[in-house]
Amino acid sequence: MVSLLAFVGLMSHIPAVFAGEVITARFDWLPHLGLNFTLMLDALGFFFAFLILGIGMLIIAYARFYLAREDNMGEFFTYLLLFQGAMVGIVLSDNILLLLIFWELTSLSSFLLIGYWKHLPEGRQGARMALVVTGMGGMSMIGGMLILGQIVGSYDLSVILQNRDLIQADPLYVPALLLILMGCFTKSAQFPFHFWLPHAMAAPTPVSAYLHSATMVKAGIFLMARMWPVLSGTPEWVMIVTTAGLITMVLGALIALFKHDLKALLAFSTVSHLGLITMLLGTGTAFGAMAAVFHILNHATFKCALFMVAGIVDHETHTRDIRRLGGLRYLMPITFVIATLAALSMAGIPLLNGFLSKEMMLEETLHTTLYGTPWLVPVLATVGSLLSAAYCFRLIGHTFLGPKRDDYPSPPHDPGSGMWLPPAILVVLVVAIGVAPFLAEPFIKLVTSAVLGDAAALPEAHLKIWHGLGTPLYMSIVAVVGGLVVMALFTPLLRAWDAAPRPEAKDIFDRIIGASVALARAAIQPLHDGAFTRYGAIMALTVLAAGYYAWATGTSTPPTRAVQMPGAVPIIGWLMLVAAAVGMVLLHRNRLLSLILIAIVGLMVSIGFVFLSAPDLAMTQITVEVVTIILLLLALNFLPNRTPIESSVLRRTRDGIIALAGGVGAMGLSYFFLLREAVATPISEFHLANSYKGGGGSNVVNVILVDFRGFDTYGEVIVLGIAALLIYALTETLLSSPVRARLLNRKPDQPRSGDMHPTMMVVLTRVIMPVALMVGFYIFLRGHNEPGGGFIAGLVVSIAVVMQYMASGYNWASARQRYPYHGIIGSGVLIAGLTGIGSWFVSKPFLTSDFGYVRIPPFHKFELATAALFDLGVFLGVVGAVMLSLESFSRLARRAHMTESEHAMDIDPSRDDQPPEATAASDAGKEV
């Protein structure tokens, strides 16, 4: 339906296109890069879009009946339409960068289509090979296109096409030409990149018929035609393009002749015909271009029909091996007629369209001189035609003619009309154009003039069946007769072919790929050997080297700030921090001790924050410190308590040197900038000036968090939530793996306390709970004007809840936990987001805040800002994330043989029934 709509849409532009107009649509996408979404519909684009959409419709109808019941049709048609869209994009885009994007899209979607039957190894390998080759070509084309854009100074195709002289005079013309041709040749399977196309035949037949007859392989041809006005005509162009085309044509036809697989035969014949078209474009004359355009149309019709026929034969007989077929004309008469007409057209038999363009091709070769030998091109072209005729005859003769056999893998018969109608429609076109070429002439001439642009005048020649007794006709006769002779001698020829040594392109390809993989391994393995410590050292050294380079080459200014003299207290604090940090290095093997030491470091850092006018930071740091230590303690519960000595003295010295260098670097850098003013005026002046006026709060840090940089904060809350969910997910995975059994049967490595939930602690935490919640609430409310806010309040409340877990046990606490933490995180993010969205309703940007003052009579007037609502979101996000992480950790700690009591206290004076285990446990505790 999409294709049909697009086709109808395309048809609606027929009058304008036939009037020679160029329709454009423009939409600026990334104007800074010169990448704009500009579309252009001229006759050439129309011609290709017509082929793509028209044949696309037939293919979709055909595929509907071709695919088996178990194939996933939705997936198939999604890929197919993706591909079709990308193709149409290529032919219609007016911006070469946009064209490149569509170009790569076709490579990707064709990869998906070729590998559609994922269970077949050939499909996967063929898809991979196609992707490697066309992707590589795409890369080089990007380079070529960029050079072209640089030369002209615009990436608009319509501008580039008008600068022929400028481009051809540029010294970069040859590299650009080579790179672009590389892209075209890989896509259109030209020698020496022809080998991927036959391997792509592992795809379902509709894909082969669509991609490899009418569309994808024509993309390279299209581009050559598109760029014809600016690139063609130079000696380099003629030499490269004509040679490649000629070799491809002869070689493709030769290989096709000896292929036994119907689709492989057709694939190589496609390669051969693409070579023919390339060669015609390469001659660089107007007549050659016209012949090329005509042959594109003819080839699309008969080759697509033939592919569909091959699909039908495969579908009905369950084999595509020509050696196992024959005599099908009795069993599949309709298919036989279609196939014969299409194949004869391909062979160049009069009254069919293939004959006309082949005549034009031969005519053109007579005027082409390559390497100074005028006979070379016509002779090779005749040989190519001869071989081409031969494989066409073989296709008809060995598949449909001959005696009826009785060993078909499946009894063949004509398929339903859904399958034979699409190729039949194409064959009608084949015959119509062949009999009455004047019908197609205006259209072909129009397209040709679009190809030529301003570079050359439209040729005077007309399309007709009878050109008179000229040399081309004799060449044609030689080809057809020669083809019949080859057919007659086929058996001995085949024997000779099989005996002859010949390079298999796929082996070479595999060898090249294997070599590059080995090379990449050799380069990566020594650097990337899975040793994290080595990466760490390499990274540290790199950063140091970069820093040193910047230091050595940069300029500096003398200090502008006076050094402030520290008092006794800061020095003592510094001493404690340094002692703790150095102590960690010396004593890090005792893990519990290092945990205590790092807590001292954290404490000193937070005190430092208070001292240096950052109360918010200090509060955050100290609360985070508490939860981090709890977390690490929980982790240490499972990890070994000591780190054994493993690294050698040499290694420790090396690490020590790296560490010292890093430390000296960091110290030097901070000392340097602490003594100088900022290079540019910081934005903070603005924040200080507008915090109260614009944000309604006098705590500037908090206003920055919830207002000026609210979007950052929003993102950070989301990140925190994701981290917590990740921890939860990891815990779940751990608990559903064999690790769970090990955890449950774990023997504690240290004696446990007998009273797991001491009465004193339970009572104390329960008393503290409301106080802690109150403090959290208070900190939250004052946050906008005094130190505090959502982050800190969230942490305080989390600590209050964690205390309950610690004192009263996991089961008791989680049984009283009414809202799941996931939900709390989610609601936090939602509330923050909705607050931000709320500003849309008063047509302000996302996260604009507003505030006002409210006074409920007995109380002092207080302020309400939307920012507070945002802060509430932050608060909920933090509580949920912290609690979810800690909860996940403590879930690991539950053990099987310790049935946790649902009572908060093991010994509860108000309870009459003393659980026996609890008493026993407490007795055991006393003994230990």
Q: Which of residues 856-915 bind another protein (CB under 8 A)?
A: 878, 881-882, 885, 888-889, 892
d(CA 71, CA 552): 65
Measured from the CB of residue 127, what is the shortest distance to another protein in angstroms?
13
Cβ within 8 Å of residue 242, ≥6 positions away: 279, 282, 283, 368, 370, 377
Whether the Cβ atoms of residue 112 and residue 74 lie closer than 8 Å to each other: no
Determine if 283 is a binding residue for another protein (CB under 8 A): no
Phi, psi torsion values for 531, nearest 5 degrees: -95, 105
Determine if 826 is a binding residue for another protein (CB under 8 A): no
Q: What is the DSSP letter of 323?
A: G
Determine if 205 is a binding residue for another protein (CB under 8 A): no
Determine if 537 is a binding residue for another protein (CB under 8 A): yes
Q: Which listed residue (417, 670, 753, 914) binds another protein by CB under 8 A?
A: 670
Q: Which listed residue (9, 175, 333, 566) binds another protein by CB under 8 A?
A: 566
Closest CA to 338 of 359, 313, 317: 313
Determine if 694 is a binding residue for another protein (CB under 8 A): no
Q: How big is the chain, counted in residues? A: 928
Measured from the CB of residue 602, what is the shortest distance to another protein in angstroms?
7
CB-wise, 168 or 713, nearer to another protein? 713
Determine if 122 is a binding residue for another protein (CB under 8 A): yes
Determine if 549 is a binding residue for another protein (CB under 8 A): no
CB-wise, 260 or 766, nearer to another protein? 260
Determine if 252 is a binding residue for another protein (CB under 8 A): no
Closest CA to 886 of 788, 817, 832, 840: 817
- The stretches of 525-648 forming alpha helices (DSSP H) are 532-553, 568-587, 591-611, 615-636
CB contact burial 569-589 (16+ within 10 A = b; e otherwise): eeeebeeebeebeebbeeeee
Determine if 647 is a binding residue for another protein (CB under 8 A): yes
Determine if 786 is a binding residue for another protein (CB under 8 A): yes
Determine if 656 is a binding residue for another protein (CB under 8 A): yes
Give the position of tokens 């590059």.
516
Determine if 719 is a binding residue for another protein (CB under 8 A): yes
Determine if 635 is a binding residue for another protein (CB under 8 A): yes
Determine if 828 is a binding residue for another protein (CB under 8 A): no
Measured from the CB of residue 717, what is the shortest distance to another protein in angstroms?
9
Determine if 312 is a binding residue for another protein (CB under 8 A): no
Determine if 550 is a binding residue for another protein (CB under 8 A): no
CB-wise, 650 or 842, nearer to another protein? 650
CB-wise, 32 or 860, nearer to another protein? 860
Measured from the CB of residue 496, what is the shortest distance to another protein in angstroms?
21
What DSSP string runs through 459-525? P-----S---S-HHHHHHHHHHHHHHHHHHTHHHHHHHHHHS----HHHHHHHHHHHHHHHHHHHHT
Determine if 558 is a binding residue for another protein (CB under 8 A): no
CB-wise, 153 or 668, nearer to another protein? 668
Measured from the CB of residue 692, what is the shortest distance to another protein in angstroms?
5
Determine if 916 is a binding residue for another protein (CB under 8 A): no
d(CA 107, CA 187): 9
d(CA 577, CA 362): 90
Measured from the CB of residue 920, what is the shortest distance to another protein in angstroms?
29
Whether the Cβ atoms of residue 323 and residue 329 lie closer than 8 Å to each other: no
Measured from the CB of residue 94, what is the shortest distance to another protein in angstroms?
40
Give the position of tokens 């049967």.
745
d(CA 103, CA 137): 10
Q: Strand 23-30 to strand 862-865: parallel, antiparallel, or no bridges (unpaired)?
A: unpaired
Span from 63-71, 155-163, 427-435, 672-680 in contact with another protein (CB under 8 A): 672-680
Measured from the CB of residue 103, what is the shortest distance to another protein in angstroms?
27
Q: Which listed residue (627, 768, 769, 898) binds another protein by CB under 8 A?
A: 627
CB-wise, 503 or 644, nearer to another protein? 644
Measured from the CB of residue 683, what is the shortest distance to another protein in angstroms?
6
Closest CA to 360 of 268, 455, 277: 277
Measured from the CB of residue 395, what is the shortest distance to another protein in angstroms?
20
Measured from the CB of residue 794, what is the shortest distance to another protein in angstroms?
9
Contacts of another protein in 350-389 (CB under 8 A)? none
Closest CA to 193 of 133, 146, 275: 133
d(CA 361, CA 273): 11
CB-wise, 683 or 837, nearer to another protein? 683
Determine if 713 is a binding residue for another protein (CB under 8 A): yes
CB-wise, 643 or 899, nearer to another protein? 643
Q: 770: cis peptide before it, omega within 30°?
A: no
Determine if 208 is a binding residue for another protein (CB under 8 A): no
Whether the Cβ atoms of residue 795 and residue 623 lie closer than 8 Å to each other: yes
Contacts of another protein in 725-754 (CB under 8 A)? 726-727, 730-731, 733-734, 737, 739, 742-743
Measured from the CB of residue 8, what is the shortest distance to another protein in angstroms?
41
Contacts of another protein in 447-476 (CB under 8 A)? none
Measured from the CB of residue 346, what is the shortest distance to another protein in angstroms?
23
* HEC readout, 199-238: HHHHCCHHHHHHHHHHCHHHHHHHHHHHHHHHHCCCHHHH
Whether the Cβ atoms of residue 724 and residue 881 lie closer than 8 Å to each other: yes
Determine if 664 is a binding residue for another protein (CB under 8 A): yes
Determine if 793 is a binding residue for another protein (CB under 8 A): no
Residue type, 205: T
Determine if 546 is a binding residue for another protein (CB under 8 A): no
Binding-site string for another protein from residue 495 to residue 534, where x marks contact by CB under 8 A and - marks none: ---------x-x---x---x--xx--x---x---xxxxxx
Return the CA Rg of the chain: 39
- Three-state SS at 30: strand
Burial class (CB in 10 A: 0-12, 13-18, 19+), 894: middle
Q: What is the largest CA-CA distance in the chain?
A: 121
Q: What is the DSSP letter of 318?
A: S
Measured from the CB of residue 277, what is the shortest distance to another protein in angstroms?
25
Measured from the CB of residue 644, what is the shortest distance to another protein in angstroms?
8
Whether the Cβ atoms of residue 821 and residue 802 lie closer than 8 Å to each other: no
Q: Residue 270: how many CB atoms within 10 A of its CB? A: 26
Q: Which listed residue (454, 646, 913, 927) binds another protein by CB under 8 A?
A: 646
Binding-site string for another protein from residue 590 to residue 609, where x marks contact by CB under 8 A and - marks none: -x--xx--x--xx--x--xx
Q: Which listed residue (628, 814, 817, 827) binds another protein by CB under 8 A?
A: 628
- Count Cα neighbours of 173 within 13 Å in the Cβ-side half-sphere: 19
Sign of CA dihedral 695, 700, 706, 711: positive
Determine if 23 is a binding residue for another protein (CB under 8 A): no
CB-wise, 472 or 721, nearer to another protein? 721
Q: 192: cis peptide before it, omega within 30°?
A: yes
Residue type, 309: V
Query: How many Å separate Cα 775 from the centre of its chain?
Result: 49
Q: Which listed residue (488, 639, 763, 771) binds another protein by CB under 8 A?
A: 639
Span from 139-147, 465-473, 692-700, 751-759 in contact with another protein (CB under 8 A): 692-700
Measured from the CB of residue 619, what is the shortest distance to another protein in angstroms?
9
# binding residues, another protein (CB under 8 A): 132
Determine if 118 is a binding residue for another protein (CB under 8 A): no
d(CA 87, CA 544): 50
Measured from the CB of residue 438, what is the shortest distance to another protein in angstroms?
44
